[in-house]
Chain A
Amino acid sequence: MLYGGVSGADPTAGGAAKHDTDVTHVNGRTNVRQMGETKQMSVVDYLVLGDEPHLEANACTSCGALFFDRRNACAKCGKQSFEKRALSNSGIVRSYTIIHRAAPNVAVPYVSSVIELDGGGVVKGNLLEAGSDPEKIELGMKVKMTTFGCGVDEEGTEAVAFGFVPA
């Protein structure tokens, strides 16, 4: 089992998310779900699983600034009130790099990218299914979010991560 990189990605995982399953709500969100025998967990809190996996930000109710981490106050305006906001699954490649040297259990090469989501939000994630030839990866190209299994723990729970594929 590889824990990352394109060869660690299960290309069917994104599709599997569409199966109707018993969804467990945690903290008001669907970041744990039962897939038949397999229990799944999103690899980070801000990835919401369920029928339509998407990213969710903490949005400042005062200035609209978006954050993916647990918040104390707003880094932009200092106010302390936030609401959950579902972000778009489509966006453009703002930047990327092709990683050839990584920790031993991360498969290389893989493409790390910074994605600007339509309607707001900037996030880092792997660019999948785009190859690793810089001639063929275009800055500004349109992408859409997908999900993939990125590891299984000793109890058989699968961690699900998000990445982006050319739209």
Chain B
Amino acid sequence: MADNIWIIGATMTKFGRYPDKDSVDLASETALGALADAGATIGDMQSLSVGCLLEASNMLGQHLQKQIGQTGIPVFNVANACATGATAVRTAMLSIKAGEADMALAVGVEQMGKMGLLGPAGRERAKPTGFERSGRYGTVMPVEGVLGTQLMPGVFAQAGMEYASHHDGVGFEQFAKVAEKNHAHSTLNPLAQYQKAFSLEEVMGATMIAYPNTLLMCCPTGDGSAAVVLCSDKKLKTLDPDVRRRAVKISASVLTSDPYVESDTGQPDVSTLTKQAAKTAYEQAGVGPADLDLVELHDCFATAELIHYENLSLCEPGGAGDFIDRRGPWRDGQTPVNVSGGLISKGHPIGATGVANLYEVATHLRGEAGDRQIEGAKVGLTHVIGLGSACAVHILEKAAS
């Protein structure tokens, strides 16, 4: 990109449960933290983007402003399923690229509470009264469990099993190894919701939710926030040397939706849009998968992470099972994946996720990741996918200096 955009401030809360705080508290904490990290104030920002899925219609960005500074700048309240946070960052980027801003703040936040693994759909349904057709499928009653499952653990289980159907050497054990790795990685991350290692036997023996995903292979619900401050090339040159030294370059930022495929009528295809986003991102950044020092990808379920190894070209076509078998994605492996613990163990407060994985990679590129630091990291990739579908891929690079 001719005019680079930089991350100059980044922070996140520990993910977990904050029953005594609301989304505005969590967003304020990271917004103020990211501004302080950038050596900037809210008065320096010309654009604010706030990603929050469950409160998308609540003007959360403006509520945040009323706590940290009502400066009259444009606010974008963003919702894009599990790609919400990454889309908020992209919105801030686009404001800079369009020349409307030279500094912008993007915040992702979610306050999910203990809504349960299945969300509202997991609650008891009302008994049917008079059957009447409604909706685009002319449905006469709720069909979850009647015509298969549309809930996330099962949808992503089926996505993984479809990959397994085409590739030998991919099964329950390979999927479980993904969760074993991410739980192990999380023990080094003080910001993770859970920091507990489990053996492969414990992962496979945990309560079955949607085969092959056991409870330890599903991300938890939780609360949390993350924020980044972005600036233009031109602006960066005017900033304090210490800010410039720690600046991280956004070498690629790509957002895709799902192109038509025949199987859409069965269930959403999470692979095609991810492959397209990755391909475009590698081209934009001028780097390849072999150049990546770490990857934070969307492991909402262990089955999802495994198929994204191939979708992001981290392994040979058909080689995802072999990649995990030979520990390629472990932190000491070929391409470390989800050294934060991933969604499975770090947690997945939906709106925060796509910003938090930028925080994670940026922190490694700055050499500030503490015990979990990937030594000498220069290039990293982040990936999120929201069912519906939306996929965002970002490639970040350490400043050249």
The distance in angstroms between the C-alpha atoms of A4 and B139, with both chains bound, is: 14
Interface size in chain B (residues, C-beta < 8 A): 52
- Does any Cβ of B come within 8 Å of A159's Cβ? yes
User: Out of A42, A68, A103, A159, which one reaches B124, CB within 8 Å?
Assistant: A103
The answer on a CB contact under 8 Å between B211 and A97 is yes
The answer on a CB contact under 8 Å between B158 and A114 is yes
Would you list which residues of chain A between 27 and 72 have a CB under 8 Å from chain B?
Answer: 31, 41-46, 57, 65-70
The answer on a CB contact under 8 Å between A68 and B265 is yes
Considering the complex, give the chain B residue whose CB is closest to the CB of A155.
Answer: B130
Residue of A95, A122, A163 contacting most chain B CB atoms (<10 Å): A95
A94 touching B146 in the complex, CB below 8 Å, given contacts A68-B137, A100-B207, A159-B140:
no
CB distance from B128 to the nearest CB of A (A): 5
| B149 / chain A contacts, CB cutoff of 8 Å | 97, 99, 102, 112, 124
- Does any Cβ of A come within 8 Å of B316's Cβ? no
Binds A, one of B13-21, B105-113, B114-122, B351-359: B114-122
- Does any Cβ of A come within 8 Å of B159's Cβ? yes
| B172 / chain A contacts, CB cutoff of 8 Å | 134
The answer on a CB contact under 8 Å between B124 and A104 is yes
The answer on a CB contact under 8 Å between B140 and A43 is yes
CB distance from A87 to the nearest CB of B (A): 10
The answer on a CB contact under 8 Å between B157 and A159 is no
Classify the secondary structure of B's interface with A.
Answer: loop
A-B contact count (CB 8 A): 189
- Does any Cβ of B come within 8 Å of A115's Cβ? yes
A139-162 vs B: 1/0 string, CB under 8 Å?
110000000001111110101011
| A42 / chain B contacts, CB cutoff of 8 Å | 140
The answer on a CB contact under 8 Å between B131 and A161 is no
| B161 / chain A contacts, CB cutoff of 8 Å | 95-97, 139
The distance in angstroms between the C-alpha atoms of A38 and B266, with both chains bound, is: 31
The distance in angstroms between the C-alpha atoms of A102 and B153, with both chains bound, is: 10
| A114 / chain B contacts, CB cutoff of 8 Å | 148, 158, 162, 263, 266-267
User: Out of B118, B137, B154, B267, which one reaches A69, CB within 8 Å?
Assistant: B137
Would you list which residues of chain A between 129 and 144 have a CB under 8 Å from chain B?
Answer: 134, 139-140
| A97 / chain B contacts, CB cutoff of 8 Å | 149, 153-154, 157-158, 161, 210-213
| Chain A residues engaging chain B, CB cutoff 8 angstroms | 3-5, 8, 31, 41-46, 57, 65-70, 75-76, 94-107, 109-110, 112-116, 120-126, 134, 139-140, 150-155, 157, 159, 161-163
| Chain B residues engaging chain A, CB cutoff 8 angstroms | 117-118, 121-125, 128-131, 133, 136-151, 153-154, 157-159, 161-162, 164-165, 172, 207-213, 260, 262-267
